[in-house]
Chains A and B, each alone.
With several copies, the nearest count.
Chain A
């Protein structure tokens, strides 16, 4: 459901820089369904791959299948992203705040001890320079924070300052897609745009500990995955349920 909901926000015209994990699956699914012309890039230097099966991550050569060209980071994160040619960044997150800023570096327990994760990689670059960004992550109350344990990648605002004032380009995070709901990040803050079929609205809100606005008329229900989408995910893209377990 998470992957299907994220894929639905990807457009056929997008030039998408795709991060590790769930974002890969969402991009692959969109490419295989409603957005066949969507062009995918991987930061390590892969242009327009069309992978047909599962992979262990962006550094797994199976993810590079069907690529039109290989290059380097100065081409993908440089000429394409810093050069203003990436319409969509697809990123995972450890934690996200109401501005759509992302933490992928570390979390602190109540005693203040750090537990470290993957760091930025190209995530900070993608968040800083894409025209728009989708965050794709599991819904867990610990993953929503009014103040991030570490602000790896800026969203629409940082400490109240808009990204344009900071010198950044593009819109920043426009939506956070989880396995329970879609949160749109508006200039005024996060809006609970839709909840997924079978989810209880109040419970979703209770599990989203950031200040959340409601759209006029309340959140809609996210369209359910089609059988075709399910089959592609289960049979081709993630048969061993590495990501969609």
Chain B
């Protein structure tokens, strides 16, 4: 019954070409250990989905694992932009479909319930909208009740979501502390969920009222202390500025500098 496996086996649910949803946000709660294991496994042609990109996104794109990205932008807060992501989009080496944070969260919400679509008023008037409509990622419709224009967003159901939690039990019931941005929508939209957690405990030992992601939706659990470093994990540890500066410098320069940084950190990790 237990879903607890090693990290390598857990990320084995991600195959070449998988649509992978990431749950980090900028400099906080990135599943960096899981992402490093995916890079180490040599995965290719990943199609990423993430509401707001961060370090995990920049790592996967910088390591050449990614062919497309559905997101609403991202950054490393004051440390800088996602240089590898931005360069890959500008050069055409990955395809990007760009939403706003709310509209992409609503696509994932629609995916989590498999609703036919969700209509919204956001995105109207923006240049973001036209490429989304062209790609089948949005449609402009009329509200059937009062006839106003609305943007219909189709459901998005990624193959696998990767989440770094504070605490998880053997059945996959996962606890995320602090703000939740789009974590629940993302995890519940995915067909499978991989949880790395600071601490894994036996079934029945977590207060069900504290559970963020019900275990019934989780496929694999791996205990990875400091699995979010150097990003901040609320309730566990703060972000580490010097490691972000190292990342941003390598990602900005690209080429051999980025390759050397990835070689060093994908194997060695960021833990102290």
Contact = CB atoms under 8 A, between A and B. Distances in A.
A and B, direct touch (CB closer than 8 Å): yes
B122 A69 contact: no
Contacts of B78: 21, 56-57, 242-243
A121 B128 CA distance: 12
A167 B181 contact: no
Contacts of A152: 126-128
Given A57-B77, A166-B149, A37 B1 contact: yes
A84 B114 contact: yes
Interface in B101-133: 101-103, 105-106, 109, 112-115, 120-128
A60 B75 CA distance: 12
Contacts of A56: 27, 77-79, 239, 241
B215 interface: yes
A31 to B, nearest CB: 13
A163 B125 contact: yes
A203 B14 CA distance: 57
A72 B81 contact: no
Q: How large is the interface on A (under 10, 10 to 19, 20 to 34, 35 or more residues)?
A: 35 or more
B144 interface: no
A85 to B, nearest CB: 8
A72 B182 contact: yes
Contact of B77 (A20, A119, A128, A150): A20
Contacts of B79: 56
Given A67-B208, A77-B101, A77-B102, A83 B112 contact: yes
Contacts of B18: none
Contacts of B71: 119
B204 interface: yes
A178 interface: no
Given A75-B214, A125-B100, A61 B178 contact: yes
A43 interface: yes
Interface of A: 15, 20-21, 37, 39, 41-48, 56-62, 64, 66-75, 77-85, 104-106, 113-125, 128-129, 150-154, 158, 161, 163, 166-169, 242-243
Interface of B: 1, 25-28, 51-52, 54, 71-75, 77-79, 81, 86, 89-90, 98-103, 105-106, 109, 112-115, 120-128, 148-150, 169, 171, 173, 178-185, 188, 203-204, 208-209, 211, 213-217, 232, 234, 238-239, 241
Instruction: Report, nearest first, the 5 A-B pairs whose CB atoms are least far apart.
Output: A119-B73, A57-B77, A45-B179, A59-B26, A69-B211
